[in-house]
């Protein structure tokens, strides 16, 4: 925002077209007007910094998942993959909490309640930087990314369950094989005795 002196006797105003602030020359009113404008700018600066962090985090997460997908083998380390997804989700939840905590500052602070024009200037500065809409868009992007990570997490959990089921089936198969090997001599002896008994019966006849 550009700040220029207003004409003599003119109150402070914010130009809605280019955001130029015309600051009153009256000493008594100037302080509260500057405070309202400064607080509005502080909200915009905090949002700019947080927006940059969120954008960087989303970009890092996207690159990480692409690397994981390109480097995936037929038997990936599902536990390590699940851990990475959990860390990503935790990071995004922290950023969302911080974003929505900062969003509380969009409303005019109590400090300005006794200064109607300063409060209006604060709202105009916040509106000029499109703070509310940008906050809503960031929340939507975070929601989309969290939904995507949740879907991946569910897929990894399903793959882990399927792998565990296959291991259980293989173990049951080996257990059956061992049982057959263990009982094979008894079965063989019983079969031999049965055959011998039948031959003996034929000889008697």
The mean of the pLDDT values for the chain is: 78
DSSP alpha helix (H) spans, the chain? 27-70, 78-103, 116-128, 131-204
Angle between helices 78-103 and 27-70 (to 10 degrees): 170
Q: Which of 31, 29, 3, 41 minimizes the C-alpha distance to 122?
A: 41
CB 86 within 8 A of CB 92: no
Structure confidence at residue 18 as a pLDDT band (50, 70, 90): low
Q: Which residues contact 146 (CB under 8 A, 6 or more apart)?
A: 89, 92, 93, 96
| pLDDT for res 157 | 85
Q: Which of 115, 137, 107, 92 minimizes the C-alpha distance to 30?
A: 115
For the residues 49-69, what does the mean pLDDT come to? 87
Return d(Cα 65, Cα 81) in angstroms, integer.
10
| pLDDT for res 71 | 52
| pLDDT for res 175 | 86
Q: Which residues contact 24 (CB under 8 A, 6 or more apart)?
A: 6, 10, 11, 12, 30, 33
Max CA separation in the chain (angstroms): 138
Q: Half-sphere exposure of 153 toward its Cβ, with a 13 Å CA cutoff?
A: 14
Q: Per residue in 150-160, pLDDT tens?
A: 988 888 888 88
Identify the top-confidence range among 103-117, 149-163, 190-204. 149-163
Confidence check: pLDDT of 196 > 80: no
Return d(Cα 57, Cα 140) in angstroms, integer.
15
Position with higher pLDDT, 28 vs 81:
81
Structure confidence at residue 109 as a pLDDT band (50, 70, 90): low
Return d(Cα 8, Cα 87) in angstroms, integer.
58
Name the phi and psi angles at 181, rounded to 5.
-65, -40
Identify the top-confidence range among 6-10, 96-100, 155-159. 96-100
CB 146 within 8 A of CB 89: yes
Confidence check: pLDDT of 75 > 70: no
Structure confidence at residue 144 as a pLDDT band (50, 70, 90): very high
Structure confidence at residue 203 as a pLDDT band (50, 70, 90): low
| pLDDT for res 104 | 57
Position with higher pLDDT, 174 vs 194:
174
Confidence check: pLDDT of 51 > 80: yes
């Amino acid at each position: 925002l550009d700040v220029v002196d207003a004409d003599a006797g003119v109150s402070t105003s914010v130009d809605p077209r280019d955001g130029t602030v015309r600051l009153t020359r009256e000493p008594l009113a100037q302080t509260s007007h500057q405070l309202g404008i400064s607080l509005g700018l502080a909200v915009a600066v905090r949002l700019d910094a947080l927006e940059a962090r969120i954008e960087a985090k989303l970009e890092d997460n996207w690159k990480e998942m692409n690397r994981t997908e390109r480097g995936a083998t037929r038997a990936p380390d599902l536990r390590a993959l699940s851990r990475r997804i959990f860390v990503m989700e935790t990071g995004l939840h922290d950023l969302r909490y911080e974003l929505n905590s900062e969003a509380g500052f969009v409303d005019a602070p109590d400090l300005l309640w006794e200064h109607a024009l300063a409060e209006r200037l604060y709202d105009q500065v916040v509106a000029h930087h499109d703070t509310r809409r940008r906050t809503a868009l960031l929340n939507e992007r975070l929601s989309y990314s969290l939904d995507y990570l949740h879907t991946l997490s569910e897929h990894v959990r399903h793959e882990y369950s399927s792998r565990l089921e296959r291991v259980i089936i293989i173990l049951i198969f080996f257990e059956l094989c061992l049982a057959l090997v263990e009982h094979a001599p008894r079965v063989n002896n019983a079969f031999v005795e049965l055959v011998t008994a039948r031959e003996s019966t034929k000889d008697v006849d």
